[in-house]
Amino acid sequence: MRSPQIVLLMCSVILIGACSGKETMENRPMPDPPIAKKVPKITEIHGLKLVDDYFWMRDEKLPRDPNANPEVTAYLKAENDYAEAFMEHTKGFQDSLYKEMLARIKETDENVPYKDGGYYYYSRTVQGQQYPIYCRRKGSIESAEEITLDMNEMAKGKKYFSVGHYDIADDENQLAFSTDTTGFRQYTLYIKDLATGKISDKIADRVTSFAWASDNKTIFYTQEDPLTKRPNKLFRHQIGGSAHDLIYEEKDELYTVHTDRTRSKSYIMAVSTSSTTSEVRYLPSAEPMSGFKLLLPRKKDHEYYVDHIAENFYIRTNDKGKNFRLVTAPVSDPSPSKWKEIVAHRKDVMLEGVDCFAGHYVLVERKNGVPQLGVSDLKSGVSHYIEQPEPVYVSHPMQNAEFTTTNLRFNYESFITPKSVYDYDVVTRQRTLRKQQPVLGGYQPEMYKSERMFATASDGVTVPISIVYKKDLKLDGSRPMLLEAYGSYGIPYDVDFDSTRLSLLDRGVIFAIAHIRGGGDLGKEWHDSGKMMVKKNTFTDFIACADHLVKEKYTSSDRLVITGGSAGGLLMGAVTNMRPDLFKAVVSYVPFVDVINTMLDETLPLTVGEFLEWGNPKEKPAFDYMLSYSPYDNIEKKDYPTILVRTSVNDSQVMYWEPAKYVAKLRTMKTDKNPLLFKVKLDPGGHGGASGRYDRLKDQAFDFAFILEQFKISD
């Protein structure tokens, strides 16, 4: 690797004063950080002139062509080299952390097989290989193994590789799958003949979902717009043919379209959704050349989703309340006049999903922020909930491909209990642990403790906080803490298990999640009270949680590091602007920080559909409100905490230039001498970073070394 000084010298055309060395903390010789040039771009809107000095960093070609803009690439490389130089003294610690975290992982491992038709399907990993291998066994788990996809073989020569979706045809001889080799989340559809091993030429580009009809030759797929990445077209294609028939095009830019097949295999569904409204079309999978029927026309703010058992559709609908109810409707006439309620709306329970089987259905719910699974027998009408051993956990149905079965497979885990796979007999109510993810190295769960506490927000609302730590906690404010949150799109933040987190807990760090408004932890109203014109509740909730943890002496402001990604990166930027004194350091992943400029540009991925989450800045009230919290627009001349920002140049969800501009502006505005590091994955990588498991672990070792250094922990 070239030294930072050489890179910065080469980049002097765009960097100012970036080549002189100076003594910094711990007397380590360091280059000055890269300072980007300013080229003012003025946007006039609502009587204001917005000046963007770093618009020049934006280049839509760069994610696809690393040579598209040498000037921008040089700046990003200079940032990488500066970050590497700053963290050079932790290389040994990073290596130790990597080896420590890797040592907890069973590198050669196998998932629990699940039955689908005449085969048992599973994936496995092999020590030293980055990716899973997809396999199956015919008739019995003791039969000979057949490899359906070896991602390691397919990934050879590629710096990024991901399988998006994987679907076997009814004849069990054809596999439809999609792959992405850039991290930009644009998947290409292929068909593999499992008898011969031959993989077809590409069926279609930019495929977001697909489903087989029951004739084993017709496949339905959705395709996204090449510019906005909005899935807007549904096609029908017969394998071996050249025709790709456009069945449906979603014209409304607020909506996307998705296709799937019911577990009963009787129907192909085409679902158009915005973030507040949905509309379902259906077609018998045995009649793929027939037309889709509309179940119920869209109506503003009405969401409904459909599954199938026998003569009835099962419809999850929010027509009587935000948290949804469950109704049935005859397939012969599913109009609302024929709807029959079987689960009423409940203000304190969010009905997140319904899984339908031949003899029962499973409710996927959330009450008081905790998931719960409810089973209802169709013959007897008796319902019950699956009991779980801990008060706070995460559980959800897993691969349940079989329609006619009394077995339910579900996942269970908590802060302390590793990922566990259970089979549950819905008739006898017996549960069988099929596998608990091994944590090598002598993990002892009794050495750790988790709690749930509550902070009071600025408007009096009670906000849950989940924490985990190694036992023998003394509440004197001396313990370091990592506080994490998301708080957008109605997505709950679950208390999962992560063996890598032990590298923090074992060094005395408390880990906490703030379940703030804007997420879905406490139902739909929790989401609604943290979006649009009340989005700031998300930020003030987080600050209230941090203040509470400091007040209760779990930690102190000089021992508190915060982290979040994507919309959680927006959170990081907003709260850092609002209360920079409250945090020792911030780790921000692929942060959505340039809210106004992004939401004004309807050509960018996700923009239009997200007007219903953030607002449309072309409307002045929404513009004024968004401008008041947009992190990029609210950077001020003041002291900021130590900050690490990460992104990928191929990220399609938050384009790389948002965090790049944010860092560049922050460098010129902040008045402190605290480090500001920016790590950019220039090799193919996406919204979630690298695709290979070892590569991801190395990135995590870097981040953990950065976090632990803030607590003066170096071994």
Alpha helices in 29-90 (DSSP H): 70-86
Q: Given this model, what pLDDT does residue 25 score?
A: 43
Closest CA to 520 of 510, 511, 529, 509: 529
Name the catalytic one among 237, 360, 515, 687.
Answer: 687
The token duo for 618 is 């072309």
Phi-psi bin for 88: left (phi > 0), alpha (psi -120 to 50), beta? alpha
H or E stretch covering 336: none
The token duo for 202 is 């590409």
Q: Which of 25-34, 309-318, 382-391 has the lowest mean pLDDT?
A: 25-34
Q: Given this model, what pLDDT does residue 190 score?
A: 98
**What distance in Å separates the CA atoms of residue 673 and residue 26, rounded to the nearest whole number?**
13
Residue 139 has pLDDT above 70, yes or no: yes
Contact between 176 and 190 (Cβ < 8 Å): yes
Name the catalytic one among 209, 566, 630, 648.
Answer: 566
Q: Per-residue pLDDT averaged across 319-341, rounded?
A: 98
Identify whether 687 is a catalytic site residue. yes
Residue 689 has pLDDT above 90, yes or no: no
**What distance in Å separates the CA atoms of residue 401 and residue 411, rounded to the nearest whole number?**
15
Reported confidence tier of residue 27, pLDDT bands at 50, 70, 90: low
Contact between 428 and 384 (Cβ < 8 Å): no
Q: Per-residue pLDDT averaged across 33-39, rounded?
A: 95
**What distance in Å separates the CA atoms of residue 356 and residue 337, rounded to the nearest whole number?**
22
- Would you tell me how many other CB atoms lie within 10 Å of the CB of residue 441? 11
Q: Given this model, what pLDDT does residue 329 score?
A: 98
Q: Which residue's entry shows tokens 């250094």?
A: 709
Identify whether 459 is a catalytic site residue. no
Q: Given this model, what pLDDT does residue 15 score?
A: 33
Q: Per-residue pLDDT averaged across 663-673, rounded?
A: 97
Distance of CA 219 to CAs 35, 116, 426, 649, Å?
52, 19, 33, 33
**What distance in Å separates the CA atoms of residue 198 and residue 478, rounded to the nearest whole number?**
61
Residue 10 has pLDDT above 60, yes or no: no
Radius of gyration of the chain (CA): 26
Q: Per-residue pLDDT averaged across 59-63, rounded?
A: 88
Q: Given this model, what pLDDT does residue 598 score?
A: 96
Q: Given this model, what pLDDT does residue 29 score?
A: 66
Q: Which residue's entry shows tokens 């049935």?
A: 328
**What distance in Å separates the CA atoms of residue 76 and residue 709, rounded to the nearest whole number?**
24
Q: Which residue's entry shows tokens 């990024």?
A: 160
Q: Given this model, what pLDDT does residue 16 score?
A: 31
Residue 23 has pLDDT above 80, yes or no: no
Q: Given this model, what pLDDT does residue 28 score?
A: 61
Q: Per-residue pLDDT averaged across 396-412, rounded?
A: 97
**What distance in Å separates the CA atoms of residue 660 and residue 701, rounded to the nearest whole number?**
22
Identify whether 651 is a catalytic site residue. yes
Q: How many residues does the chain have?
A: 715
Domain architecture of the chain: domains with CATH: 158-302 (2.130.10.120), 305-437 (2.130.10.120)
DSSP 8-state code for residue 198: P
Q: Given this model, what pLDDT does residue 65 score?
A: 81
Contact between 281 and 295 (Cβ < 8 Å): yes
Question: What mean pLDDT is reported for the chain?
Answer: 94
Residue 338 has pLDDT above 80, yes or no: yes
Reported confidence tier of residue 279, pLDDT bands at 50, 70, 90: very high
Name the catalytic one among 515, 651, 652, 691.
Answer: 651
Reported confidence tier of residue 9, pLDDT bands at 50, 70, 90: very low
CA angle 191-196-198, nearest 5°?
A: 40
Q: Given this model, what pLDDT does residue 24 score?
A: 36
Closest CA to 562 of 551, 671, 508, 574: 574
Residue 120 has pLDDT above 60, yes or no: yes
CB environment 112-143: b (16+ within 10 A), e (fewer): ebbbebebbbbbbbeeebbbbbbbbbeeeeee
Contact between 178 and 164 (Cβ < 8 Å): yes
Q: Per-residue pLDDT averaged across 465-483, rounded?
A: 95
